[in-house]
Amino acid sequence: MPPDQDRFAVERHARTNRRVLHCPHCKKWIDYAERRALFWWKPKNGEINVGDHLSKIIVSNVLGQRDRTLMDKCDKRKRLIAIGSALHFASDGDSVWGSGVNGKIPADRHTFRTLDVRAVRGPRARAFLRERGLDVPEIYGDPGLLMPLFFPREALEPPSTRHPFLIVPHFNEPSDKYLSYKDQLVLPNRQPAGFVRQLLCAELVVSSSLHGLILTEAYGVPSVYLEWGNGEDRFKYDDYYHGTGRMQWHAGHSVEECLALGGNRPFDLNAVQRGLLDSFPHDLW
């Protein structure tokens, strides 16, 4: 990693000269600087997981409404933890906006003592943090639900072909598990806009990916959780649904069962979006 004085020079230069983005070394430094301001999980092989990459997309767009960028953050020693089941990555003093708990991670892996919490994914994440003595407001929602505010349906220009249903597997699931449904499969290893564009063609989305469910519901497409051995703990799914006011929700254990059940009932999307936007930590920028 470059010395601080070199890295900061690149950051300043990047704000005034976007041509710096064509320099491979500068792009690496800028990525590092952005990830000091905002945490998002990034696979070592460079592959995109739509749910994790979404954090950068949404936070950048919220900041852009006030002519700010990630690199404008006042104190980069403390990060913002936003979209994702990422609270186990938080350190003392970090800020939290809409993040959640990964139920597969042992509680003792959460080593923070102090956090600046503005919103969490749902009431289960709130209870988890309050048990650790933290102040947590009752502001719930996954910021992925803000996607339509920045990428409207009409701007995404979805294909005209309609599908009775589409399937989104979890990022870590082998795609050959879904060979019988290869024509209905939408993989989550792509940029958010392209991912959503495909889902908008469906009348129902069957998803074992949490952000497959979240992004689909954000655009008003019915969705249902496919609980079919994806290796994920139910905690984060409960937390998301509870955070949108749905204490009762259903899931299917096969594609056929999901199709029979249909989508979960809708919720007040506008209220959740307002709560998230009002709680965004603009003061950190």
51-72 tens-digit pLDDT: 888 999 999 999 999 999 999 9
- pLDDT band for 173, please (50, 70, 90 cuts): confident
Domain co-membership, 226 together with 277:
no
Considering the domain architecture, whether residues 7 and 91 belong to the same structural domain is answered as no
254-278 pLDDT, tens digit each: 999 999 999 999 999 999 999 999 9
**Residues 91, 182: one domain?**
no
Residue 158 and residue 191 in one domain: yes
Residue 18: the pLDDT is 54
Mean pLDDT along residues 31-51:
82
pLDDT at 102: 95
Which residue has better confidence, 4 or 57?
A: 57
Interatomic CA distance for residues 121 and 161, integer angstroms: 33
**CA geometry: angle at 50 spanning 234 and 88, to 5°?**
50
pTM here is: 0.88
Same domain, 68 and 102: yes
Q: Are residues 133 and 239 in the same domain?
A: no
pLDDT at residue number 182:
93
For the ranges 31-35, 189-193, 238-242, which has the lowest average pLDDT? Answer: 31-35
Task: Give yes or no for residue 17 having a pLDDT over 90.
Answer: no
Give the N- to C-terminal CA distance of the chain in Å, as an integer. 24
Q: How many CB atoms lie within 10 A of CB 119?
A: 28
Residues 208 and 221 in one domain: yes
pLDDT value for 19: 56
192, 231: one domain: yes
d(CA 268, CA 246): 10
Tell me what pLDDT residue 2 has.
Answer: 46
Range of the domain at 2: 1-37
127, 66: one domain = yes
Same domain, 116 and 255: no
Residue 14 per-residue DSSP state: H
Burial 152-190 (b: 16+ CB within 10 A, else e): eeeebebeeeebebbbbbbbebeeeebeeeeebbbbbeb
State the chain's mean pLDDT as an integer.
Answer: 90
Handedness of CA 285, 54, 164, 271 (dihedral sign): negative
Residue 77 shares a structural domain with residue 166: no
- How would you list the strands of the sheet with 38-39, edge to edge? 38-39, 80-81, 95-99, 116-120
d(C-alpha 155, C-alpha 140), whole Å = 27
What total of structural domains would you count in the chain? 3
pLDDT of the residue at 6 = 46
Same domain, 194 and 223: yes
